[in-house]
Amino acid sequence: MKHIVKLVTKYILYGISIGCTSFVLMCMSFYIGGGEEILVSICKDFARQSVGAMLVGIACGGTAVIYQFNRPSQLIKVIIHFCVGMGVFYPVAINLGWIPFHPDRIIQTVLQFLSSCGIFIVVWFCFFLFNRKEAKRINQRLKELERGYKG
pLDDT at 4: 86
Confidence check: pLDDT of 92 > 70? yes
What is the tens place of the pLDDT at every residue in 8-51?
899 899 999 989 998 999 899 988 988 888 888 889 999 999 99
Q: Are 120 and 86 in contact (CB under 8 A)?
A: yes
